[in-house]
Structures are given as structure tokens and as C-alpha cells.
Amino acid sequence: MTTRPILRVEHLSKTFGGVRVLTDVSFEIGAGEIVGLVGQNGSGKSTVIKCLSGYHSPDPGWQLQIDGSTLTRGLHPGESAQLGISFVHQDLGVIGDLTVLENLLFNRFASEHSPYINWADERRRARDLLRSYDLDLDPRASLGSLRPVEQAQVAIIRALMQLRDRGTGDNARSGVLVLDEATTFLDRTGRESLHVLLRAIAASGAGVLFVSHDVQEVLALANRVVVLRDGRVVDDADAATLSPEDVVGLIVGGDRAVRLDQLADDVEAEKLANAADGAGSVAADVHVAEVAAPIGRLAVQSLDGPQVRGIELDAVGGEIVGITGIVGSGWESVLEHLYGARSADRGWLEVDGRRVDLTSMTPRRAIDNGMVLVPSERLTQGIIGTLPIEQNVMLPVLRRHFSGGFLRHRELIRRCERLLHDHAVQPPDARRPIGTLSGGNQQKAVLGKWLQLAPRIVLLSEPTQGVDVGARQLIFRIIRDAARRGAVVLYASGDWEEIARLAHRVVVIADGTVAATLAGDDVDVNRIASAAYRGTRRSADLAAASTAWSGPDTSEGREL
């Protein structure tokens, strides 16, 4: 199948501040070939992509061959398109308010300075191009009116046009198209129609690099699969020779001893970090969460939303339940539906026998039901960086400090500073703009904002994102403390190590439905991974299948 390599990467390494994230990565893509690139979060996939796009400069010693040119330096931003690498990213980079034609042409508008556009001519060319790939799209339609899969098709065709437009117009049908998680938010049929398009593009002579979390999808589409783990290529094999289990095994890594070592290092690092900023003593007596009335039982029933269907889960007071899956599988939206931050199509929440309809849930109602949410996008949803910490943190309790017709400013500041102290926020200065704190301290303040309400149900969406290791330790402590006092904690995260360390039970979501619920000794990274990657099989088979690469249980890990 491989005729000649279009793209060849050799000895690609990348170091960030002394930490090596890519080590001697080499691979090639032949003309007409679709290569899948897979790996866990943090395995180095996105660093590879960013080196190819010119966003990062690789360490010296690498070599890139692309369509006949050879480079040993880093690429300039924008240079990749000239050389023959074109990207379609997860967010597609299309503009809904413009027409299909305008979207297809805007790269050209950006690079050319022709004073005149022949719209009729361009429209005809676009229609011909779309037709040649069996796409029945009207160039004049507004992009926002198209289905998501059609928008993705437009993005792919645009990337293809970018490849063809370069150079002297010799219509060379080569170059490499890179799809960076571009199918993540599509449903199954949508993905399949994109596969048809990608195969047609490959058949016309281009190479395709397909980056995805979805192992099954990669195996269905790609001719060859490159697996990255911890910044190294651990396998590069013909897709036909691999089973999904093989690939998951390669992605997660078979060596448990190594992983436990890493975990121990991590704990050591956390201790050191605590000692270093003098927060160690404060951390020891973090006493924060009050729980109004310990919860008996919580259940979510038949939750449907744009990305999930038929989600059922339950929890009891004192329990930390992890919710996870691969990127785009729907786990990200579960908490938002429960809190009413995003409307659900169907579903109920039952708390101690009281049933609440989730289709009419709002954040206000959720808070009134004893729920709080620490949202995943801290900078846009969690804090207002320019306002003082006090105005951010005390927002939910303003009425408590309003008496005799006046907000008691001094009291607010005092209460807030005590809260900051209890949560080991550095510096505990309530008048400071919250944006001037480090990410970890911002997040501790956000936790304080919500836990002061003595919630019975604590929803946490990736609370350790952008948080340093020391703060992470404190955040874990605060979360455990809330659970110990009888709250239900639902913890949604894509970081499986973290989930495995913290959660008593884990609900794994694949393809929008609950793929497995793991409890007790089953809560470990390998079992989470196999459930997440392999989709909808029952957890019993998973446990059996996963023993192949799983070692002793990790319950000691959770005690850390």
C-alpha cells in the first residue's frame, strides 16, 4: 500500500524546562496512507502535533522530511501549510456566521492579497470539489445551519484546498492532512461518513495522520497505528494485526511496578511542595467542610442530554464517586446536567426520596437543593479575575452579611480571610484581585466559596486542572473532608490516576452511556482505561479481560 513516504519524522525530542516530554519519536506516513496516532492524556500526542504545526520548536537533532523538502530546524508558524501539512483541529476552526464558500476560502483571503474575488468562479470550483468527494453541500448555505458532521466535512475540504493551493499550482495531490481529535464530538454515523471522506482523500494520494482517543475508531480507519506512551513510540504496527485490547494495553502500559513507583514519586513531590511553601503545618489542620444534614442516598435516573443517554448512577453520603471516560465520551456534561448549568432532555435526580426533574433544573434550584458545582473552566466560569477575592468568594452568602440595610463590609472581609486561612490560600488577603493568585490558590478559594454553604452534594468538574502538585494535595484533602462529613461528592475528571486515588467508586462513560461501574479493588487505572476505551461491554468481562495487564490492586494508592 505504501508507495513513498510523504512525511518522515526522525528523532523528534522535546524538552520543557528540563522535563523531557518527547523522546526520539520517529514515524512516517506514506502516500495514500492513513496513520492513527494514539496515546493517553499527557503521552505526548499533542506535543507532536504542535511541533509539526510550528507551535513548539523541537530539540535540535530532529529531522523532518515532507514532500521532498528536509528540515532540521523548528517550523515557523504558518510554514507547515507551505510545506504541505494541513490541520483540522477539534474545534474545526470554522465560522458559523459565514457561508460554506467563505469558510472554504478564508485561508486564501488571509494569505493572498488579490484585490478582486470572482465569486461565481469560486462558487463553481467549490461545488466541483465538494462533488468530487460526493458531498452534496450548497456553497451558499450558512455554515451554522449545517449538521456537525457537515461542518467537519467543510473543515476537512478546506484543509485539503490549503494543501492543493500551495506552490505553483501543479495540482500535486500530496501533502499530509492531520486530524487532531476532529471527530470527537460526532456521533457514530457522522464519524463513519467522515471516514469515507478521509479514505477518498487518501486514495487521491495524500497522507492522513489521524489523532484520536477512540481506539476502535482508529482501528477501523487507519492502515497503521503509532502508539505513544510517556513521550516514546511504543509500537508502530499494521492496524490489521492489532486488536483493541492490544492497543489499550500498549496505551496504558503493562508494567505496574513502574506506575506504582511514579505514584510514590508523586506523593513525595507533594510532601516536598508542602514543606517548601510552608503550607505543611496549615495543611495539617485544614478544617473546612460543614455538612448541613448528611445525605442518605442520591440517585440519577435516565439522564439524557446532547452527549449522554440513559445515565443512571447512585451514591450514598460519605462517598466519592468518580465520573470519567475518554475525551468527548459524554462524561464532561453529566455534572452540568445535574446542576442545571446545561439543560437536560430528560432525567431525574432523587435525593433521600425527593425527586427533582432535571429538565427544569437551574443553578439556583440546585443550590437550594444543597448542591454546589466547581466548574471545569475556572477562568470563565469559576472566578472573575479582576474582582477582589472577597467579592468572588462571598457571593453566595451576601444575604447573611446584610443587616440593618447595609452590607457589613468589615465582617465580609473578616469571614473571607478566615475562610482563606482555613483553606490554606496564599496569600490570605481578601482585598487582592483573585486573578493575581496562582491557579491552585484560585481553586482553593473557589472550593471555599462553595463549601461554606455546607453543601450536601458536591459536584467537582476537573478541580485540579492547572493546579500545582502541592495545591492538588490540599484540594484532595478538602474533598475527602467534605465526604467524611456526610456529603456526596461526584468527581468528574479525565485524569484516571487521580480518579483512582480519590474515588470509592468510578462510573465510566463511553459513547454517552455508562460503560462500567467499578468499585472496591476494581478501582484502578487499568480497569478504568479498558472500560473507557472499549465502550459498552459489561464490567464483568472487562475485569476478566483486564487481568492480562493489571497487577495487584491499588487500594493503598487511594489511601495516599
Partner 1 sequence: MTTTRRFGSVGSLVGRFGVVFVWAIVVVVFSVAKPDTFPTTGNFSTLFASQAPLGVLALALIVPLTAGDYDLSAASVLNFSSMLVAVLNVQHHMPVALACLLGVVFGLVVGLFNGLVTVLFDIDPFIITLGVGTFLDGLTLWISKSAPVSGVSQNLVNLVVVDRFLGLSLEFWFLIIVAIVLFYVFTFTPPGRRLLIVGRGREVARLSGLGVNRIRILSFVASGGLSGLAGVVYIGSSGSADPSAGTSLLLPAFAAAFLGATVLVPGRFNPWGTLVAVYFLTTGINGLSQLGVSTFVQQLFYGGALVIAVLLSSLAGRPSRRKAKAAAGPLPADGAPPTTAPSQPAQTTA
Site residues (vs partner 1, CB under 8 A): 50, 53, 55, 77, 87, 89-91, 93, 95, 97, 327, 332, 339, 341, 362-364, 366-367, 373, 375-387, 391-392, 395-396, 398-399, 402, 405-407, 427, 429, 431-433, 435-439, 442, 462, 466, 494
CB of 90 to partner 1, least distance (A): 6
CB of 226 to partner 1, least distance (A): 21
CB of 454 to partner 1, least distance (A): 15
Write the Ramachandran bin of 240: left for phi over 0, alpha for psi from -120 to 50, otherwise beta. alpha
Q: Which is nearer to partner 1, 153 or 443 (CB)?
A: 443
Q: How many CB atoms lie within 10 A of CB 305?
A: 21
Q: How many CB atoms lie within 10 A of CB 69?
A: 10
Place of cell 524546562: 17
Q: Which is nearer to partner 1, 258 or 398 (CB)?
A: 398
Tell me how far apart the alpha carbons of residues 517 and 501 are, in angstroms, rounded to a whole number.
16
CB of 462 to partner 1, least distance (A): 7
Q: Which is nearer to partner 1, 63 or 436 (CB)?
A: 436
CB of 11 to partner 1, least distance (A): 23
Cα separation values, 197 from 84, 163, 191, 255, Å: 19, 16, 10, 39
Q: Which is nearer to partner 1, 256 or 342 (CB)?
A: 342
Q: Which is nearer to partner 1, 9 or 361 (CB)?
A: 361
76 and 85 Cβ atoms separated by less than 8 Å? no
Whether cis (ω within 30° of 0) applies to the bond prior to 427 is yes
Please compute, for residue 99, the number of CA atoms within 13 A of its CA located in the half-sphere on the CB side.
13
CB of 25 to partner 1, least distance (A): 18
Q: Which is nearer to partner 1, 376 or 550 (CB)?
A: 376
CB of 337 to partner 1, least distance (A): 13
Nearest to 329 by CA among 501, 503, 188, 222: 188
224-229, strands of its sheet edge to edge:
85-88, 176-180, 207-211, 34-38, 224-229, 232-238
What's the chain's Rg over C-alpha atoms?
A: 26
First to last CA, the chain: 51
Q: Which is nearer to partner 1, 79 or 345 (CB)?
A: 79
Please compute, for residue 186, the number of CA atoms within 13 A of its CA located in the half-sphere on the CB side.
24
Q: Which is nearer to partner 1, 80 or 546 (CB)?
A: 80
Cα separation values, 179 from 45, 156, 212, 232, 314, Å: 12, 8, 8, 20, 37
Write the Ramachandran bin of 381: left for phi over 0, alpha for psi from -120 to 50, otherwise beta. alpha
CB of 134 to partner 1, least distance (A): 28
Q: Which is nearer to partner 1, 318 or 435 (CB)?
A: 435
Helix axes 188-203, 148-165, angle to 10 degrees: 20
Cα separation values, 306 from 188, 500, 528, Å: 14, 27, 24
CB of 93 to partner 1, least distance (A): 5
Q: Which is nearer to partner 1, 319 or 511 (CB)?
A: 511
CB of 184 to partner 1, least distance (A): 9
Q: Which is nearer to partner 1, 266 or 429 (CB)?
A: 429
Torsion of CA 225, 228, 232, 236, to 10 degrees: -10
**Could you tell me where the DSSP H helices lie in 306-401?**
331-339, 363-368, 389-393
Nearest to 443 by CA among 435, 432, 454: 435
Residue 266, amino acid: D
Tell me how far apart the alpha carbons of residues 361 and 343 are, in angstroms, rounded to a whole number.
7
CB of 482 to partner 1, least distance (A): 19
Q: Which is nearer to partner 1, 287 or 364 (CB)?
A: 364
72 and 63 Cβ atoms separated by less than 8 Å? yes
CB of 242 to partner 1, least distance (A): 26
